[in-house]
Structure 1
Amino acid sequence: MIRRAVPLRFDRPAENGRTEPLRLTVLTDDDAEHEVFVKVSSGKECSIEGLMNEMLGSLLAADLGLPVNEPFFVELDPEFIQSVVREDIRARLTASSPLAFASRAAGQQWRRWLPSDKIVASQVELALGIIAFDGFVANGDRGPLNSNLLVRDLDWRIIDHEGAFGFRMRLFPRCEPWKMGNLELLRRYGEDSEHIFARQLARRDDLDFTGLRTRWSGLSDARLAQYDATLPDEWEATRPILAEAILHLKQVRDNIDLCLAELKRVLT
């Protein structure tokens, strides 16, 4: 489900990113090279749990038809780490889990979503899918301070899911989107929790929730079990946390009509 890769070279630190990702070139089993953004467990505001959240978020988003860059597991072997010239980067890699999470670099044509950007008619369904995804999995990191959305003309890519599924840290309110009022944070305009799409989707008469219901209802127990099976041995310590997140996804699926009713209320 997620390919493994080995690093060929360290290119440079990423230009931005709260978790201080790194730019690497990696090699997959088919001898193809890929430029990727790599997150390591010793990154700022990151951990093995954050890497696991990235894994789960990328798998779930793809299954829901949301655009993501291809994820990779990157093996940080000691020989590669010692080849990194920068001492500070070498120290971070040494202190990290031997397995990192990476996403394929989108390319130079892409930029971050800006507050001045507008949702056009052809993007309404996708925007609705993204705000539902973020609300239903407690991803509060697609707001005015950081859009975590890459844009190229009318194409989008959602990125950065390390902060999703943080149910143990977000207790007030706990993420239970099947309860009325639980998604209120999405439309607190002017606050950090405001979702980048909340204002533009509010009070529209062309919102169709049918596709959302179909995709979330289609998350089978077998598919969710595959998420659990994807967890690499190197991150085994996070399995109880992953199990909690998967249970949450089952609750969203089984209560999808209530979840959609709450989302509709927020966007009224």
Structure 2
Amino acid sequence: MAKTPQLRTVDVMRYITPLREGGSLPALAAADDGFNYVLKFKGAGHGTKALIAELLGGEIARTLGLPVPELVFANLDEAFGRTEADEEIQDLLQASQGLNLALHYLQGAINFDPVVTTVAPELASKIVWLDAYITNVDRTFRNTNMLIWHKELWLIDHGACLYFHHSFTDPEGHAKSPFALIKDHVLLPQASLLQEIDQEYRALLTEDTLRGIVNLIPDEWLQWDGAEQTPEEIKQVYFTFLTTRLANSDIFIKQAQHAREALI
């Protein structure tokens, strides 16, 4: 029986600063455990679906042994943000009361630059496999979503993965589709061991393991406007997508291999 993953829950004590402009407006925030976090808000952009993608993508990566900052549930009290001077940020904070998601802040980390840092074939293959599996559109030369911290590579920002859930139609069909956008992956040229990694990772991602990761999703993130399914039914859709895609990994592996051959 696989060990069920657990996430800590922290209370956000102080909003420090927004980290970048854009739809999601993540922020640096201090929590009651004394650490700083990159806080992702359920009241921003794609709402809780972006948090679900961040949660599932990050915890799948962690299960596969890839370096991801610790994820925690971050609770925003209803009084939080009332003194914020910026009206847009105040609205965001008010719309994000309750459970949000946060990543441990890697103090002093720098953005990964493929011109400066060459990633070994095994690690590159592992990251490309992950991103093809979770349909992550956001690890490109333009936006690598990787950091160098203490001379090690760390993966961040999985909020754009699992994009099937924005329509939530035909999850099994999406699960069995190739991932054409893998051609833009920043590490694809180095990913020469995809077949070997596929065998290793398929063995790690058992049904029990994937069920445990999906069950991390808080029910309050699954109260979608217009959705007829219950939270448990929505979780089952995610589980079905992940298990079906894993069972058909040869489809996205071949797509990645063909895209790599075209590059090199």
TM-score exceeds 0.5: yes
Q: Indicate how the Cα distance of structure 1 residues 144 and 57 shifts in structure 2: closer, same or farther if over 3 A, else same.
A: same
Q: Distance in 1 between matches of 2:132 and 2:113?
A: 20
1:139 paired residue number: 136
1:72 paired residue number: 72
1:19 paired residue number: 24
Q: Indicate how the Cα distance of structure 1 residues 231 and 244 shifts in structure 2: closer, same or farther if over 3 A, else same.
A: same
* DSSP-derived class of the 2:29 partner: strand
Q: Distance in 2 between matches of 1:168 and 1:208?
A: 26
Give, as a single letter, the amino acid of the residue that structure 2 aligns with 1:232. P
The unaligned stretches of length 5 or more in structure 1 are 188-193
Aligned pair count reads 245
Structure 1 segments, 4+ long, off by >6 Å, are none
Q: Which structure ranks higher in relative contact order (CA pairs < 8 Å, sequence separation ≥ 6)?
A: 2
* DSSP-derived class of the 2:37 partner: strand
* DSSP-derived class of the 1:226 partner: helix
Q: Distance in 2 between matches of 1:84 and 1:38?
A: 16
* DSSP-derived class of the 1:119 partner: coil
Deviations 1:46-88 (A, max 9, x none): 3111111111111111011111000011111123333545443
Q: Distance in 2 between matches of 1:95 and 1:26?
A: 19
Q: Distance in 1 between matches of 2:26 and 2:221?
A: 19
1:117 paired residue number: 116
1:89 paired residue number: 89
1:253 paired residue number: 246
Q: Indicate how the Cα distance of structure 1 residues 208 and 167 shifts in structure 2: closer, same or farther if over 3 A, else same.
A: closer
Report the TM-score, using the length of structure 1 for normalisation.
Answer: 0.81
CA contact (8 A) 1:7 1:76 kept: yes
The RMSD of aligned alpha carbons is 2.5
Q: 2:259 aligns with which of 246, 261, 266?
A: 266
Q: Indicate how the Cα distance of structure 1 residues 18 and 81 shifts in structure 2: closer, same or farther if over 3 A, else same.
A: closer
Q: Distance in 1 between matches of 2:239 and 2:204?
A: 14
Q: Indicate how the Cα distance of structure 1 residues 94 and 25 shifts in structure 2: closer, same or farther if over 3 A, else same.
A: same
2:228 paired residue number: none
Q: Distance in 2 between matches of 1:229 and 1:216?
A: 20
The unaligned stretches of length 5 or more in structure 2 are 1-5, 225-230
Q: Distance in 2 between matches of 1:9 and 1:97?
A: 14
Which aligned pairs between 1:184-263 and structure 2 lie closer than 5 A?
184-187=180-183, 194-201=184-191, 204=192, 207=193, 209-237=195-223, 239=231, 240-263=233-256
Q: Distance in 2 between matches of 1:183 and 1:230?
A: 26
Q: Indicate how the Cα distance of structure 1 residues 241 and 266 shifts in structure 2: closer, same or farther if over 3 A, else same.
A: farther
1:191 paired residue number: none
Greater CA drift, 96-105 or 224-233:
224-233
Q: Distance in 2 between matches of 1:132 and 1:73?
A: 27
Q: Indicate how the Cα distance of structure 1 residues 155 and 175 shifts in structure 2: closer, same or farther if over 3 A, else same.
A: farther
Shift of 1:168: 4.4
Give, as a single letter, the amino acid of the residue that structure 2 aligns with 1:151. I
